[in-house]
Amino acid sequence: MGYGALVHDAWNGLLHALRITGSMTWQVTWSLLLGFTLSAMLEALVRKSTIVRLLPDDRPRSLATATALGAASSSCSYAAVALARSLVRKGANFTSAMAFQFASTNLVIELGLILGLLLGWQFTAAEFVGGPVMIVLLAVLFRRLLKPRLLDEAKANAERAVAGTMEGHAAMDMSVAAEGTTLQRLRSTEGLTSVSHNFVMEWAAVLRDIVIGLLIAGAAAAWIPDSFWQHLFFTDHPVGAKVWGPLIGPLVAVAAFVCSIGNVPLAAVLWNGGISFGGVVSFIFADLIILPIIVIYRKYYGTRMALLLTGTFYLTMVAAGYIVEAIFTPLDLVPDTRNASMGTEGVHWNYTTWLNIVFLAIAAVLVVRFYRTGGGPMLKMMGGGPDDMAEHEHHCH
């Protein structure tokens, strides 16, 4: 094969990967916009200053509260990790802060929507079953493994306030300061401003990961043959595949470096490639142990705690994958076919296009509101130090 033919094949391969990426992007746009809009509305009602008071210990009630508040405080993985460290510094229980961290990345509306759109409603159900299971397992492990001396050492490291990533974003409180009923607060001028600020800031935080995730998924779908995935996931050995899937799922996530919602398109590729149902679940939950975040754990809490967090998080992700599959299989909730949507149908005038137009218009209104109410400078403060916002809680007045 001549040089010209190689270049031609490489160019065609690149265009094929980009077509898949573009088509997947178009398919999931409305669900992401809807999810972030709903999350922004919830965040407008939840004041970060009240969270610490509600997480005094690791009892079931505090863990349930942490889970609910985390799910309402949608964050990219980096901001969630930074916010959890902030909660620890302000006096929240460490285990509850980690539960909050899990929930704010793995139990959020937009993740459920995109899972349902690309993989099917069963995977959305698996997310909302597996997330609480993982938090309970983590609390049990911490009671056995988290010694007082190590905890004191981690808190001392946290007090040093070493910067990680998205510190400024994690420190901002963009909730509505006005009193009144939930509907009154959301319908007020301050409510619209708060929703717009939360919406744009969350998009700014996760956009990089979503783009990278879609590009990786497009490249993987176009360039990696099915035979590679089938060998990796032991598809010829049904029992072995179910055992192996939850073990390998988080490791693929670590290698992919993609966190937050960005790993869902790749999860669709892995599902079509033959990974087990439980393997998809553990892969989705593994956004909190990618290598850059492990480095941040070390900065925040010290080496020993970083190793404990990485090890216990991995164990809970694997166990959650096994438990979810064990629950869903006898209920006949594991899909029989592997037809996750990879955007191969392209762009057509259908419900997806109309929904995209509607939600892009809503997004445009929120973006305009964001900039007209002084949101621009906030984007520059997203990566600031953990104490940069200490004297400036950004309530929307």
Residue 183: predicted pLDDT: 80
| Max mean pLDDT range (65-74, 300-309, 350-359) | 300-309
Give the span between the Cα atoms of 277 and 315, in whole angstroms.
17
Q: How many CB atoms lie within 10 A of CB 124?
A: 17
Residue 168: predicted pLDDT: 61
What is the C-alpha end-to-end distance of the chain, expressed in Å? 67
Residue 281: predicted pLDDT: 96
- The residues near 134 (Cβ < 8 Å, ≥ 6 apart) are 102, 106, 285, 316, 317, 319, 320
pLDDT tens string 255-314: 877 777 788 999 999 999 999 999 999 999 998 998 889 999 999 999 999 999 999 999
Give the span between the Cα atoms of 352 and 358, in whole angstroms.
10
Give the span between the Cα atoms of 198 and 89, in whole angstroms.
23
This prediction has a pTM of 0.86
Q: Is 81:386 a contact under the CB 8 Å cutoff?
A: no
Asked whether the predicted pLDDT for residue 388 surpasses 80, the reply is no
> What interhelical angle do 77-89 and 94-106 show, nearest 10?
160
Give the span between the Cα atoms of 142 and 148, in whole angstroms.
11
Sign of CA dihedral 356, 215, 74, 192: negative
Q: Cα–Cα–Cα angle for 20, 26, 32, nearest 5°?
A: 120
Averaged pLDDT score across all residues of the chain: 86
Query: Percentage of the chain with pLDDT > 70?
Result: 88
Asked whether the predicted pLDDT for residue 209 surpasses 50, the reply is yes
DSSP characters over 162-211:
---SSHHHHH----B-S-S-HHHHHHSHHHHHHHHHHHHHHHHHHHHHHH
Query: Distances in Å between the alpha carbon of 192 and those of 101, 174, 276, 319?
Result: 26, 11, 43, 41
Give the span between the Cα atoms of 195 and 186, in whole angstroms.
8
251: its two tokens: 């490791």
Q: What is the DSSP letter of 347?
A: -
Residue 173: predicted pLDDT: 67
| Max mean pLDDT range (40-44, 163-167, 258-262) | 40-44
Residue 262: predicted pLDDT: 81
Q: Is 270:216 a contact under the CB 8 Å cutoff?
A: no
Q: Which of 222, 247, 187, 201 is nearest to 45 (CA)?
A: 187
Which helix (H) or strand (E) segment holds residue 293: the answer is helix 291-301
Query: Distances in Å between the alpha carbon of 30 and those of 115, 349, 370?
Result: 13, 14, 20
Residue 185: predicted pLDDT: 81
28: its two tokens: 């999931």
Asked whether the predicted pLDDT for residue 92 surpasses 60, the reply is yes
Give the span between the Cα atoms of 254 and 283, in whole angstroms.
9
Give the span between the Cα atoms of 180 and 254, in whole angstroms.
44
Averaged over 18-26, what is the pLDDT?
86
Sign of CA dihedral 221, 225, 228, 234: positive
Q: Is 282:321 a contact under the CB 8 Å cutoff?
A: yes
Asked whether the predicted pLDDT for residue 203 surpasses 90, the reply is no
Task: With H, G, I as helix, E, B as strand and everything else as coil, classify residue 313.
Answer: helix
Between 79 and 84, whose confidence is greater? 84
Please give the biggest Cα pair distance in the chain: 72
pLDDT tens string 101-117: 999 989 988 889 999 98
pLDDT tens string 182-197: 788 888 889 899 999 9
Q: How many CB atoms lie within 10 A of CB 364?
A: 10
Between 345 and 105, whose confidence is greater? 105
Task: With H, G, I as helix, E, B as strand and everything else as coil, classify residue 396.
Answer: strand
73: its two tokens: 């405080």
User: What are the start-end ranges of the H helices in the chain?
Assistant: 3-45, 48-51, 60-72, 77-89, 94-106, 109-118, 121-145, 148-159, 167-171, 182-187, 189-223, 226-232, 238-256, 264-273, 277-285, 291-301, 303-328, 351-372, 376-380
Single-letter code of the amino acid located at 185: R
The region that residue 374 occupies, defined by phi over 0 for left and psi between -120 and 50 for alpha, beta otherwise, is: left
Q: What distance lies between CA 141 and its chain's CA centroid?
A: 23
The region that residue 232 occupies, defined by phi over 0 for left and psi between -120 and 50 for alpha, beta otherwise, is: alpha
